[in-house]
Each structure stands twice: as structure tokens, then as C-alpha cells.
Amino acid sequence: MLQRRQNPICAYCKGVRGLCGAKICPILLKQTLNFRMPRYSKKSIDGHSINVLVGEYNYPNVRFGSISSFNVISGDPEEWAKKRLDFSDILKTRIWTIYAFKRNLIKRVPQIDDPLGQITISYKPVNVEVRLKKEPRFRIHLDPQIPPFGASSILEKIFIEDNIYAPRKVENAVEEDVKAAIIVPELYRHGISYYYLQRLLSAGLLGRKFRRKLVPTRWSITATDSILSEFFIKSIRYAKEIEDAGLYFWEYLGNKYYIILIPNRFWSMEMFEIWLPKSVWLPKYSRPVVIRIYEDYTGKPNKMDGGYYAIKKSILEFLYKRRRKAAALAIRIITPNYIAPVGSWQIRESVKLALECGSVIKGEYKYLIRLMLKKEPVLEQIGMIRSSWLLKRLAIKSLDRFLASD
């Protein structure tokens, strides 16, 4: 059964869209069985609540609860990426987490004086006592968008044992009746972190009060990327172009990222996501599978994809902070060393670190592309130059360049 379902469609599905018709992804199920899980037979757990999670199954009656760590505080994705934690480091800490949930209609958002509301709005992890209706079931949960967690069970009661701290700006935002598209960039400008904003949005604590609802975490991640990206595009619309094209590179968790920023009068972007044979979604396939997404100055991509939005957000954030604009060509190559999905955070943080570390080389963008093709023969194999929307677009002369050449 597992072998029969191995085909290129898995790279597009990534275990979440159910394109093969299976209710549970066979590849992810097989991977989860390979991990040795801890045993824990108690129904009461003392630990640190580090996040909240909203499921999407059975929408609009979804699972909503706290993810708590009862061994070590595992930090946040920014730390993991900066320290270059490998799969074993990440899974060692995330195995010792438990998702204690209850069923919630999406319109029943938590109040900030409720335990789950306080956990959501707390800027730092808080000490909690979690009481469960059943003994927790340990099975590592892997997802292309969400960081892994180790166990799950139905929540009976949760007690907070710490004082809660939330920035004053966040407290005011929760009370305000303002669109999420306005308040999220405003909080970002005041130094509120991306992952904190995404949590508030998922729990339904931001936006117009009459429209607030729980948003499945996977959706809220892409929504936060999209809202911030739109804000960045508007902010750099009249900025100066970057002076020289630059090639940026980062490698992490079996993923290679190449970013080429190209001087251009308008923002535009194209992503090539290349899954190599024997990578996580193609264990039995012999050819690379390519996912290609692009957008022009409107900021509207031709396809929806969480990984694309994660890359886009980090590139635009880099340009926003430098008050510059450019066109961007992003290449993500997924090798067989990417043994299991651990969440889109590794995409977002890898691109961010690649750009912050500076360009590997600068020069004319066609020269940079030739260097990249020489470094990665698979790009020649898939015909990247021939199929690229962005490169064709850049080859078209603007009116002023056309008149100047006459």
C-alpha cells in the first residue's frame, strides 16, 4: 500500500492536501513509526506552555489547545536555526511536548482572562499544570508547516502557575477593533516577533471583533507571511533599486537555498522548489520534481503555497529593512538529507540567515545564474533558464531602455 502511493504528486501534497485520497499520509505515518517514543502514564503533567495550536480537521469544530514541554524548554525556531540544530536535536526536545486540546467552534475565541487566552497572550513560556482526561498518546507529529510535537490528549483543566506578561502594545491591540491587515504590521513595526504575531492571529485575538475566530495554525502561518509581505511591498514601492545583483546561499537540514536579488524598477519574484529523488516525498522516484511559482509587482502569486510565502516574507523583510527594491529569483533544492518535515520555520529562517550573512558574490545577474548552474547541475537538467518566467520578464526592455538603445 505504501509503495503503491509513492509518486510525484506527494511533492505537491506534502502530506497535508490528501491528493492521493488517504486520510493519513502513508509517508508521514511510516516516518513516525521509526522514532522511539517516551512512556508517560500520568494524567497530570507539570511543565511549560510554549505555544498554542489550532487544528483544521473537522472544521469549523476544531481542536484548540496548548503545547507544553515537560522536560526542557525547546526555544523558538529563530534559535534553532541560528544554532543550526539538526534533526536529532529538534526531535529530542519536541518529543517531550504534549498537545492538550479540546473541541472548539471557531467562533468561540479564548478570552484573555481564560487560561488558554493567557497562555496565548503571554510573551514568554509559562509554568502550567495540565490535567488530561486520558493518558497521553505518544506519537511524533510531523508536518511541513508546523514544528513537531510528541503527544496529544484531551484537556480537562489547565492551571497557570506564573504571572503573565504581555507587551502593552499587544494588550491594546487585543482590545482594539482594527483589521488584522492593519494591526499585524503595526505590531511588527513595534518589534513584536513573527511567531508571537502568528500565535495571536491563530487564536483569534487580532482583527475586527465581530469577525474574530480561531484560525487553524497551518493557515495562520501563511496568513501572517502574506499580511507582512503585502505591507513590505507597499513600503518599498517607491524605494531605490539595489545597486548590484547578489547571490546568497544557505544550507540547513538537507535544504539548499540560493537567492539572487536583481536590480529592477518593480518587485517581482520566482521560486523553483526542486525535490531530488530519494528525498522525503520521493523515496521511490527517479527524477526531480519541480514546483514553480511566480508573481509580478501586484504581489499575487500564480499559486498558493506555504513554503513560497515563507521565502517571500524573508526576502521582502530584508529589502524593507534596507529601503530597497529588487526582483528575486529563489531556488530551494531539497536533498535526501531532509529526512522528515519539521515545519516551514526552517524555510523562513534559512532564507533570512542567507540574506543577513551577505552575498557570496555580486555582479551581473546572468553571470550569477551561470555560476549557480555550474554549482547545481540539476538546474540545467530541469531547464531552469528556458522555463523561468522571471528571466523572460527581465529580458524585455522597458520603454526608456528601448528608446535609449535606438
Is the whole-model pTM more than 0.95? no
In the predicted model, residues of the chain with pLDDT beneath 70 are 1-7, 21-24, 26-27, 29-41, 72-74, 398-406
Dist. CA 198–CA 225, nearest whole Å: 9
C-alpha cell at 360: 557570496
Is 402 among the domain residues?
no
Domain limits at 74? 23-224
Does one domain contain both 249 and 389? yes
C-alpha cell at 262: 536583481
Is 308 among the domain residues?
yes
Report the half-sphere exposure of 357 (CA within 13 A, side-chain side): 17
Q: For residue 291, what are the β-bridge partners?
A: 273
Q: Using an 8 Å Cβ cutoff, are 51 and 72 in contact?
A: no
C-alpha cell at 176: 482594539
Dist. CA 136–CA 100, nearest whole Å: 9
| Residue type at 213 in one-letter notation | K
SS3 163: coil
Does one domain contain both 177 and 102? yes
Dist. CA 393–CA 292, nearest whole Å: 15
C-alpha cell at 297: 509587482
Domain count, the chain: 2
Rg (CA), the chain: 22
Where among 165, 193, 224 does a domain terminate? 224
Where among 169, 189, 224 does a domain terminate? 224
Does one domain contain both 85 and 194? yes
Where among 191, 224, 257 does a domain terminate? 224
Residue whose grid cell is 537567492:
259
Name the nearest CA neighbour of 314 among 396, 252, 366: 252
Give the model confidence (pLDDT) of 174-210 as tens digits.
Answer: 999 999 999 999 999 999 999 999 999 999 999 999 9
Q: Using an 8 Å Cβ cutoff, are 69 and 127 in contact?
A: no
Dist. CA 131–CA 345, nearest whole Å: 30
What pLDDT does residue 30 have? 60
What pLDDT does residue 34 have? 57
Residue 257, H or E segment: strand 255-262
What pLDDT does residue 250 have? 98
Does one domain contain both 195 and 250? no
Does one domain contain both 144 and 262? no
Show the CA angle centred on residue 16, arms to residues 14 and 18, nearest 5°.
Answer: 100
| Secondary structure letter of residue 210 according to DSSP | G
Q: Using an 8 Å Cβ cutoff, are 104 and 61 in contact?
A: yes
Does one domain contain both 218 and 272? no
With b for 16 or more beta-carbon neighbours within 10 A and e for fewer, the 333-371 pattern comes to bbbebbebbbbbbbbbbbbbbbbeeebbebeebeebbee
Burial grade of 398 (CB within 10 A; 0-12, 13-18, 19 or more): exposed
Dist. CA 126–CA 319, nearest whole Å: 35
What pLDDT does residue 3 have? 42
| Secondary structure letter of residue 95 according to DSSP | T
Residue whose grid cell is 507544553:
68
